[in-house]
Amino acid sequence: MKPATAAQSSSHSLVAILILVSLLVLGGTGGVVFYALSGLASRTNQIDNELTGQAARAALRAMEQRVRDINSEFSRSDNLSAPHRGVSLFERRVADLCAGARFGVNFDLFLLVSDQMRNLVGCIDGKRVRSPPNELMGRALAPIIRDVAATYKRNTQRSGFMLTKVGIAAVSVGPAWWSIAEFGNGVPNLLVIGKRLDDSMVKRMGRDFSITGLKLATDTKAVNAAAAIREPDGRIIGGLAWSPRQPGDIALGQFLPTVYANFMFLTVAFAGMVAAVWISFRAVQDSNRQSAHAAVHDALTGLANRAALVSTLESLAGKGQEEAAVIYIDLDGFKEINDFYGHEMGDRLLKGFAAGLAMLVGSKGLVARVGGDEFVILVIGNRVERTALSLASSAISLSSEPLRVDAHDLKVAASVGVAIAKPQDLAGEELLRRADIAMYDAKRKGGCAIAVYSGAIDAELKRRLQMADDIRAGLKAGEFWIACQPIVRAGDLKPVAMEVLARWTRADGTTVDPRDFISVAEEHGIIDELGKFVLEEACTAAKRNRTLRFNVNISALQMRSLAFLDLVDNAIIQNGLSTDQLQIEMTESRLLLDGSILMSVVEGLKTRGIRLILDDFGTGYASIAYLRQFQFDAIKLDKTICAEVGKSVNSLTMAQGMVLVAKAAGLEVVAEGIETKEQANLLKLAGCTFFQGYLFGPPQAAPQAGQIYPQRLPTG
């Protein structure tokens, strides 16, 4: 028994040793594993923080470069259109700079400074300032002024961040060549352009560069050196701070339960431990790859995001002589699909369009999603304009193809802007801005079109921005008025209604085409104020002429809110009108597709007894379904159709067909644009109920109480 006992004891000892060794190995391995995972998580956090710091520095560089570009643009004297009579180039340039500072999009302060540090003229947020430059801009300005003034013949420009009276700002200083003629000493004064690093700018930088919780830190002792903001002499005046995302800790927290479960198996089999460690390491690595992928890709579509696009553009600067083409695509009608079908359907449309766009571009360029329904294609190469225009055209064709989602065929259109330049000539953000401006130009001209950036587009944008300001000022100054054109009954040519038309005569006596100022009012959100003025003036005229109805043209943009019904109620009540005196004309437009809110407003108007007229019928958008859906009381045959009646049998037949459709739907028909008796006779035979046009009276000032208008009517 002793040998057996000894053998058993030896076996037990061996087992104990093996268990002890296994426990030591497992414990040591476990310690190593947990230490490695913690270190990997910590390193992942560090790398993510370093990448965020690089993005923050890139954001500051982009901001500084933007003010340099703006300074360069405004420093020359040869890029301004001919000034108005009596206005010097200097005055025009100062006015433009003040307007730009008031808009605050790319800069919000400027000074014109002499080399002796005297403030010649300046604006902050569009308001003139007279304070000394040192007092406004701080101590960092004077050395830069001296440096630029000493070398102005070389078009020297200096920039940097400064602690100014209004906060930290990116500032650029350069010679203002257009100031020579004004002061007559042959030496240009110095143009100081600045953009404040305020909360809105910091939020914009955080959004553009995908930095969570980005904010401005003013405690210089606590500023992270990776994103410190320094004045040109190296003094730290602030910095950028952000909320660390800690992807490593998140990943570690996600995978620790898996590691614990694997180590339970390792107590039974050492091989299981090895496998579990390997799986754990692989999982952490996958998490890192996913984090890196998410930093530069759009979560919904899988395309590159804005940060990746800007980074790519910046990396091209100064490399080779190849051109870069930025193709900016915006989906027209996407908001209507979102409103009508819901965001889930909208997301599926975006994913489908993104997949098609990626397949369309292939290896020709980079495709990115930079906004809700905005996409960008970046193409690099020699003479890329042809490729860019071809891709732009293909993108429009792709957008117009119906996308089948469940039981719905979703269809949108696209507006496309194209900008082309050599990367070393422009900052990446500027090239992207130009393509964006071109896209809005294509959208403004009706959408489903391509626009290539040019200086004229920028100039037109500035003109329309200025016109928007002029409209606001004109409404306050009483420059707007209404004209009325009679609508007569076809049977006896008796006036039964007046169409109210908005008119604008500036203080200097010049008139502005309504097609121009109404489109600007719609673009810049002034249409509600302008429409309110026209509606109230129409109701005032109706109060003086209770035997006539008054037709008011209403933009569908005004009818996207139920507040429009309150506006109508107030105007009617204040003038003591009956609702049947007021008629609303809605232009035949794609805006009729807007959905439930517009339908609610239409139903509210009908409930009040206000008649609805579909204007410009026959221009291409409306259908019989619209006539039923929106419960119109009458239609207006577009003047382009009426003008052709009498010239060809086909035109008359077409007009007769439209009248028959309207009569079948129980609608009255107004023929507008009537200029000859022949047109009136033919359209009367075709079944038109009412006439409007110069034959019966041109648009004139609103008639006074009791006035017969028009006073003479055609006979025969």
Residues with Cβ within 8 Å of 240's Cβ and at least 6 positions away in sequence, in order, are 56, 59, 60, 202, 205, 214, 215, 216, 217, 224, 227, 229
Tokens of 694: 């110069």
Residues with Cβ within 8 Å of 47's Cβ and at least 6 positions away in sequence, in order, are none
Which value, to the nearest 10 degrees, does the dihedral of the CA atoms of residues 437, 443, 445, 448 take? 130
Cβ burial of 364 (10 Å; 0-12, 13-18, 19+) is middle
CB 109 within 8 A of CB 123: yes
Amino acid found at 519: S
Task: Name residue 327's beta-bridge partners.
Answer: 377, 418
Tokens of 642: 């009426």
**Which of 17, 32, 38, 19 shows the shortest CA–CA distance to 276?**
32
- In three-state form (DSSP H/G/I as H, E/B as E, the rest C), the secondary structure along 185-245 is CCCCEEEEEEEECCHHHHHHHHHHCCCCCCEEECCHHHCCHHHEEECCCCCEEEEEECCCC
CA atoms within 13 A on the CB side of 149: 17
User: b/e per residue, 604-639, with b = 16+ CB within 10 A?
Assistant: bbeeeebbbbbbbbbeeebeeebbeebebebbbbbb
Residues with Cβ within 8 Å of 636's Cβ and at least 6 positions away in sequence, in order, are 585, 613, 614, 615, 616, 617, 669, 670, 671, 672, 692
**Which of 178, 176, 190 shows the shortest CA–CA distance to 118?**
190
Residue keyed to tokens 């008139």: 511
Distance between CA atoms of residues 177 and 188, nearest Å: 5
CB 210 within 8 A of CB 305: yes
Query: Three-class SS of residue 486?
Result: strand
CA atoms within 13 A on the CB side of 152: 21
**How far apart, in Å, do the first and last CA atoms of the chain sit?**
142
CB 162 within 8 A of CB 137: yes
Residue keyed to tokens 């090239």: 431
Task: Name residue 328's beta-bridge partners.
Answer: 376, 417
Residue 633 annotated in active site: no
Other Cβ atoms closer than 10 A to 684: 15
Residue keyed to tokens 């860019």: 388
Tokens of 198: 């305020």
Cβ burial of 100 (10 Å; 0-12, 13-18, 19+) is buried
Distance between CA atoms of residues 626 and 617, nearest Å: 11
**Which of 576, 586, 620 shows the shortest CA–CA distance to 606?**
586
Q: Is the dihedral of CA 211, 214, 218, 223 positive or negative?
A: negative
Query: Which residue of the set 108, 298, 373, 436 is catalytic?
Result: 373
Distance between CA atoms of residues 531 and 523, nearest Å: 14
Tokens of 87: 């206005």
Distance between CA atoms of residues 582 and 575, nearest Å: 12
Residues with catalytic annotation? 373
